[in-house]
Structure formats: C-alpha cells, structure tokens
Amino acid sequence: MANVNIVAMTVNNISLGTDIVDVERIDRLIQKYGDIFLSRIFDAIEITYCQQTAKPANSFAARFAAKEAFAKALGTGIGKNIGWKDISVGKKSSGEPYIILSENGKDKIKNLGFSAMKVSISHTKTLAQAVVILIK
C-alpha cells in the first residue's frame, strides 16, 4: 500500500499536457499565410531550424503540439495568460527537445510552483504529437 501512496503523492506534484496535430493542417496554414503564420506562432530560431529540415511542416507541427501541450499542462491554454511566443522548443545536441520560456512563461510556472519540466515530441508523415510534464 505504501507504493500506492507514493504514486499518488507524485501525481499530485505533476501536471501533464498532451496535444496531437494534423501535419497537413499546419502545411496548409504555412502555404496560405507563409511568414505571417510562422512569425505569429514561432520564434526566429524555431523557424530557421524547421525550415532546414527535410520536412518542415512535420517539425513545425511537432513544435505547435509542444506549445499546446505546455499550455494544457499549465492549465491555461493559449490565450491571454500565455501566448504562442512565450513558449519555444529547442533541441539539444543529443536530439532531446526542451522548452524555452519567455519571462512571462517563467513567471507563470514559478507562480504555480513548478520547478522542472520535460517535453517529448514525435511525428509521423501525417501526425505530430507532444507531451509536456511540469513538476513541482
């Protein structure tokens, strides 16, 4: 029974967000709105990285999903409390993705008591998904 209590305590100290995105939808938005769409959602580093990949729409969709997943884990969604550009997705030399937050984003997680986070992103030819865990 002690293990159950430990698991319950751990769950109380995390917040989970997940999102799945249709790659074709993101590709259509890029084709229709181009830089207007990209600069509204992504920062310059994300745009440069994604445009250099073999399938940019897949990379943009994965980062879009990560931003949504982060906002869901935060409990606010994207809107007046946190915006698209408050959340950025970087990539370590090992290939591991990580979340970069604006000062506003840092303030939000600090005020909610979160001290660490993890993100996982993945995509196929047609779907991109992300999972974000915020840890107290």
Residues belonging to the active site: 72, 123
- Domain presence at residue 54: yes
Report which DSSP code applies to 85: G
Indicate the angle between helix axes 23-33 and 56-74, nearest 10 degrees. 110
- Domain presence at residue 34: yes
- Domain presence at residue 112: yes
| Domain CATH for 28 | 3.90.470.20
3 state SS of 134: strand
- Domain presence at residue 91: yes
- Domain presence at residue 131: yes
DSSP one-letter string for 33-81? HTHHHHHHHS-HHHHHHHHTSSSHHHHHHHHHHHHHHHHHHHTS-SSSS
Q: What pTM value is reported for the model?
A: 0.90
CB-based contact 32:40 (threshold 8 Å) = no
**Per-residue pLDDT of the chain in tens (136 residues, 90 and over written 9):** 444 444 444 567 899 999 999 999 999 999 999 999 999 999 999 999 999 999 999 999 999 999 999 999 998 889 988 999 999 999 999 999 999 999 999 999 999 999 999 999 999 999 999 999 999 9
Element (H, E) at 24: helix 23-33
- Domain presence at residue 50: yes
Question: Would you state the pLDDT for residue 8?
Answer: 43
Number of domains in the chain: 1
Question: Would you state the pLDDT for residue 5?
Answer: 45
Boundaries of domain holding 49: 14-135
Question: Would you state the pLDDT for residue 6?
Answer: 46
- Domain presence at residue 4: no
Between CA 66 and CA 98 the distance in angstroms is: 9
- Domain presence at residue 87: yes
Tokens of 36: 């207007």
